[in-house]
Amino acid sequence: MEPFTNVRGVAAPMLSANIDTDVIMPKQFLKGIDRSGLDSGVFHDLRFLPDGRKNPDFVLNRAPWCDAKFLVVGPNFGCGSSREHAVWGLRQLGIRALIGSSFAGIFFDNCKRNGVLLIELTQEQVGDVGKAVSEESTALIEIDLPAQKISLADGATLGFAIDDLRKDALVSGLDAIGGTLKLSDEIEQFERRHFAAHPWLS
Amino acid sequence: MFEDAKEPRTLYDKHIDSHTIRELDEHGHVLLYIDRQVANEYTSPQAFSGLREAGRKVRRPSATLGVVDHVNPTSPSRTAAVADAGGARQVSYFGQNCAEFGIELFDILDGRQGIEHVVAPEQGFILPGMVIAAGDSHTTTYGALGAFGFGIGTSEIEHLLATQTLVYKKLKAMRVVVDGALAPAVTSKDVIMALIGRIGASGASGYAIEFCGSAIDAMSVEARMTICNMAVEAGARGAFMAPDDKVYAYLADKPRAPKGEMWTRALAQWRELYSDPGAHFDRVVTLDAAELGPMVTWGTSPDQVVSIDGSVPDPQKEPDLLKRGDMQRALRYMALEPGTRLDTIPITHAFIGSCTNSRIEDLRSAARVLRGRAVAGHVRAMIVPGSTLVKRQAEEEGLAQQFIDAGFEWRQSGCSMCLAMNDDVLAPGDRCASSTNRNFEGRQGAGARTHLMSPAMVAAAAIAGRLADVREEDRADLED
């Protein structure tokens, strides 16, 4: 997983509430057994018209947002299905971070496991950032994860909170399974106690 | 077992405390032991590939049950053939993975196949006090059995298979108290839809929800599963309920439930699974069951919901501009005008199925509404039982023949048109009365429109050819 430190890029506003993972990655793109080729599925029904042409009204089809590395999103982004394909697709499209007021729980964890930074701000702050990046001239922003800081095009900065565990995982890009496997002895001891206390589970 | 606990604890606290291997920080992150998981063919392939690439093993193969459910066809005669090449590859790769890693699999032709969240409880694979995680958001269903279940993504499945644990952040706890008696023809589906309407699609974001109250106590275990299942549509990352005698009666004859002396020992522990008096809940919501009518969604988010005797709301009356925009967008997609009475909206399709509402009593409630009447001529109506066992039981009870006589297609089990990953897909512009859980844009087919409701309400709509109040059917019966 690619480490996230200091990333500069265009942010695209998508401020509707409850954008669900069916919309982010429609069902016809869920038929693989690997992670490849999902960039063409992201927001498919919004990005493309029924005849297959790009929808000129959709923000990610317009310059400069077609090169977006960040999305500024409405509340409860990523709700619905657990499909991690939604995050794989966003990542393949080049999205490195999302800024919003709230994210759905499973989507949140899926992002963490794929190096995608989720930044939670107040709805008012999200509205302000969304407004700023809606202008072509001020769409470029910078996110500094180690410093926990967003810099807008006009020089204004916003701090954000993130717990150390998630921050370290994103900054280092390390494999979580490897870390947990180091605790194998503790897992085994727990298992022994657990099954002794609840033998019908073993 | 908990005598050293000073503070009163919620049942959620008890579930998490009893499965915590170690705390990982001071912000509520723990290494959490997971008792069991269910795996399906569509969210697991990359997890198995990841294990293989890293040379890792499945830590505890017996903790996983594999079930093919999302992509298999449901055509009336059972076949293992999956027409779609991608789906076929997922099914065959899943079979290969389960065989190689030693995981038990209910494949398409297995007599126990069905939707994972229907199959796992009916096999007795889910027991009170367990913590369950699975690669499907509706894993919350298992709260109804006194367990704690939640959905995870594919990377977490891989972590779980390799370690039997997850790095988990403790949630806040919400208590939803549903007191009073439900009116006739009002179901647990209406309760959970009303709750989602009340608190919103992200109202329980960051929470685990406990459901309790006299209306919950009065419900069957199956009806409770419907409630816990859809808690995720309010944003909840898990649902829990204190198990009671109904749960124990439900489990007693299930194949994998403990038996004999082991049952007695288990039962003694299960009876400790409740929230202590005075336990702290971060939020409490109360619903009066007696006030609820049959609910139906009008929009493209499960919280866009009203009672069937209501009308499509007017976005102009919504002061929040962001919300107003979302409502306008939903109405455009649904091709509905503000002020339209819900019970005048014509449908093209009726679908009864999904992990929310496809269990035997769901089918019984739909059959009761049909009672000799026929599906409207312009409506294609389908029933997809939740499992092969449910299907067989419905056939034995004579329900299947009633559905067929009324004009419903009687199909094989699977997730089917709930998310339309198999060949059960709606066309653009189709409008479906559906007993499923999500009315998202494109969920049942690109450009298709979904109205969520209870199975009895779907049956009423199928007969009327439009969204209809199931209570009218009841009244018509009384007048007969």
Domain count, chain A: 1
Nearest to A33 among B29, B90, B329 (CB): B90
CA B340, B341, B346, B351 dihedral sign is positive
Closest-CA residue to A46 (of A31, A64, A62, A70): A62
Q: Is the pLDDT of residue B473 over 80?
A: no
Note which residues in 298-327 of chain B have CB less than 8 A from chain A.
301, 303, 322-323, 325-326
Question: Which chain A residues are Cβ-neighbours of B260 within 8 angstroms?
Answer: none
Q: Which CATH number do you get for residue A144?
A: 3.20.19.10
Alpha helices, DSSP H, located in B7-108: 11-17, 45-54, 85-101
Residues contacting residue A157 through CB under 8 Å, at least 6 positions apart: A149, A150, A151
Hey, is the C-beta of B345 within 8 angstroms of any chain A C-beta? no
Task: Supply the mean pLDDT for chain B.
Answer: 96
d(CA B49, CA A34): 8
User: Helix axis angle, A105-112 relative to A164-172, nearest 10°?
Assistant: 40
d(CA B172, CA B282): 6
pLDDT tens digits for range B373-408: 999 999 999 999 999 999 999 999 999 999 999 999
Q: Is the pLDDT of residue B3 over 70?
A: no
- C-alpha atoms less than 13 angstroms from C-alpha of B114 in its C-beta half-sphere: 26
Asked if B24 and A16 come within 8 Å (Cβ–Cβ), the reply is no
Asked if A110 and B440 come within 8 Å (Cβ–Cβ), the reply is no
- C-alpha atoms less than 13 angstroms from C-alpha of A164 in its C-beta half-sphere: 5
A65 inside domain: yes
Assess contact for B363 and B394: CB atoms under 8 A.
yes
DSSP output for B352-365: E-TTTS-SHHHHHH
pLDDT tens digits for range B88-123: 999 999 999 999 999 999 999 999 999 999 999 999
Assess contact for B466 and B347: CB atoms under 8 A.
yes
Establish whether this prediction's ipTM goes over 0.90. yes
| DSSP helix/strand/coil, A194 | helix
Q: What is residue B1's predicted lDDT score, i.e. its pLDDT?
A: 45
Q: What is residue A200's predicted lDDT score, i.e. its pLDDT?
A: 95
| Segments making up each domain of chain B, as ranges | 27-168+251-260, 296-479
A141 inside domain: yes
Asked if B442 and A32 come within 8 Å (Cβ–Cβ), the reply is no
A184 inside domain: no
A183 inside domain: no
Overall fold of domain B296-479: Aconitase; domain 3 (3.30.499)
The pTM score is: 0.96
Bridge partners, residue B432, by sequence: B349, B450
Note which residues in 49-68 of chain B have CB less than 8 A from chain A.
49, 54, 56, 59
Q: Is the pLDDT of residue B2 over 60?
A: no
Hey, is the C-beta of A39 within 8 angstroms of any chain B C-beta? no
Q: Is B415 annotated as a binding residue?
A: yes
**CA distances in angstroms from B282 to A156, B30, B143, B174, B277, listed in the order given:** 35, 20, 19, 6, 15
Asked if B29 and A163 come within 8 Å (Cβ–Cβ), the reply is yes
A152 inside domain: yes
| DSSP helix/strand/coil, A10 | strand
Of A79-93, B2-16, B118-132, B384-398, which range is least confident?
B2-16
Nearest to A82 among B153, B326, B441 (CB): B153
Assess contact for B166 and B160: CB atoms under 8 A.
yes
Note which residues in 76-135 of chain B have CB less than 8 A from chain A.
84-87, 89-90, 93, 127, 129-130, 135
Q: What is residue B472's predicted lDDT score, i.e. its pLDDT?
A: 85
Q: Is B418 annotated as a binding residue?
A: yes
| Structural domain boundaries, residue A100 | 6-175
Asked if A190 and B87 come within 8 Å (Cβ–Cβ), the reply is no
Q: How far does A151 lie from chain B, in Å, by closest CA?
A: 25
Q: Taking CB atoms and an 8 Å cut-off, how many pairs form between chains A and B?
A: 183
Tokens at A23, concatenated: 């919309």
Question: Which chain A residues are Cβ-neighbours of B85 within 8 angstroms?
Answer: 31
Q: Is B228 annotated as a binding residue?
A: no
Asked if B153 and A87 come within 8 Å (Cβ–Cβ), the reply is yes
pLDDT tens digits for range A147-174: 999 999 999 999 999 999 999 999 999 8
Asked if A176 and B159 come within 8 Å (Cβ–Cβ), the reply is yes
A119 inside domain: yes
Overall fold of domain B27-168+251-260: Aconitase; domain 3 (3.30.499)
d(CA B372, CA B473): 12
Closest-CA residue to B309 (of B338, B335, B336, B344): B344
A197 inside domain: no
**For the residues B363-381, what does the mean pLDDT come to?**
96
A78 inside domain: yes
d(CA B17, CA A201): 17
Map tokens 């091709």 to a residue: B335
Test the A interface: residue of B33, B89, B91, B137 with most A CBs within 10 Å:
B137
d(CA B307, CA B462): 18
d(CA B213, CA B142): 18
Note which residues in 131-150 of chain A have CB less than 8 A from chain B.
none
d(CA B416, CA B160): 27
Closest-CA residue to B438 (of A73, A26, A187, A89): A26
| DSSP helix/strand/coil, A65 | helix
Task: Supply the mean pLDDT for chain A.
Answer: 96
